[in-house]
Amino acid sequence: QANGEWKLGEHRVYANYTFTDSKITEDAQGRSVDIPMGDIARHRFNLGATLALPGRMWLNLRLHRVGRRRTGAGTTVADNPFRSVAAYTLLNGALSYKPPLVGVSLQLAVENLLDEGYFHPGVRSADGKILAARLPQNPRNAVLRLRYDF
């Protein structure tokens, strides 16, 4: 796992990367095995920037990448009919305003700005017949937040 952050005055750029190679090394009978964990991406990374704008406003953009998640035969999720759940990349953003009032902020956040179609793995016992083996995720969506910290 690696993390980095750079501050340039009031602006900020950050990134992180995670490599995961998770496996089952012992079966229920105590025998030595080497079975990859299903539904877990080996590679994930985030890249983001927060820019200070005039008028007490901030713009934040975040790129989020999740690699292909192996599943199905040869993994801990052997019943899944899919061999993998596809990788995806999302772009998320937020525009925030902090008026002079102490503790108050207003934010418009948009997730999945590019309206990427993507899936997450279904429940571990999913076989694709009764339980979903993969679940569609939200298309582009926006949230308006009014926050008060006391």
Summarised one tens digit per residue, pLDDT across range 66-122 is: 999 999 899 998 888 889 999 999 999 999 999 987 889 999 999 999 999 999 988
Q: Band of the pLDDT at 55, cuts 50, 70, 90?
A: very high
Q: How many CA atoms lie within 13 A of 132 on its CB side?
A: 9
* Strand spans (E) along 1-150: 2-8, 11-19, 23-26, 32-36, 43-53, 57-66, 69-70, 84-85, 88-97, 104-111, 119-121, 134-136, 141-148
Q: What is the pLDDT of residue 102?
A: 81
Residue 5: pLDDT over 90: yes
pTM: 0.87
Residue 38: CB atoms within 10 Å: 24
Per-residue DSSP letter, 37:
P
Q: What is the pLDDT of residue 131?
A: 80
Q: Band of the pLDDT at 16, cuts 50, 70, 90?
A: very high
